């Protein structure tokens, strides 16, 4: 694929208590950004999609699991595995 035909990545801003934070996750879909947030330890994940009024709401968790047998030497034996569940999409009220 060339740059013109590749799907564009979107920027998702993590919200805390309804306000933007400095954490921005880039992914093609909201779920990918939510997985990145969950891997950093966020549980209640609210992501505002830049350029739209959509707020994607997820519940996230991370658990320790065994690394694959063919892991590189620098990768520890235990790694964090993130999972998310989408709870819905809200629309930000325009002020």
Q: Supply the pTM of this predicted model.
A: 0.82
81 strand-pairing partners:
63
Instruction: Report the chain (95 residues): mean pLDDT per 10 consecutive residues.
Output: 74 91 93 95 94 94 93 94 95 76
Q: In the chain, where are the structural domains located? A: 10-91
- The pLDDT score that the predictor gives to residue 4 is 67
Choices 1.20.1530, 3.40.1000, 3.10.470, 3.10.150: CATH for 10-91: 3.10.470
To which H or E segment does residue 38 belong? helix 30-39
- How far from 56 is each of 7, 38, 61, 81, 88, CA to CA, in Å? 20, 14, 16, 21, 6
- The pLDDT score that the predictor gives to residue 1 is 56
């Amino acid at each position: 694929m060339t740059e013109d035909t590749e799907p564009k990545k979107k920027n998702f801003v993590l919200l805390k208590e309804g306000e933007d934070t400095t954490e921005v996750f880039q992914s093609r879909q909201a779920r990918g950004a939510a997985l990145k947030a969950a891997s950093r330890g966020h549980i209640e994940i609210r992501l505002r999609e830049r350029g739209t009024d959509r707020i994607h709401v997820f519940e996230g968790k991370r658990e320790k699991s065994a690394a694959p047998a063919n892991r590189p030497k620098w990768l520890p034996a235990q790694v964090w595995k993130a999972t998310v569940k989408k709870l819905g999409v809200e629309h930000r009220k325009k002020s």
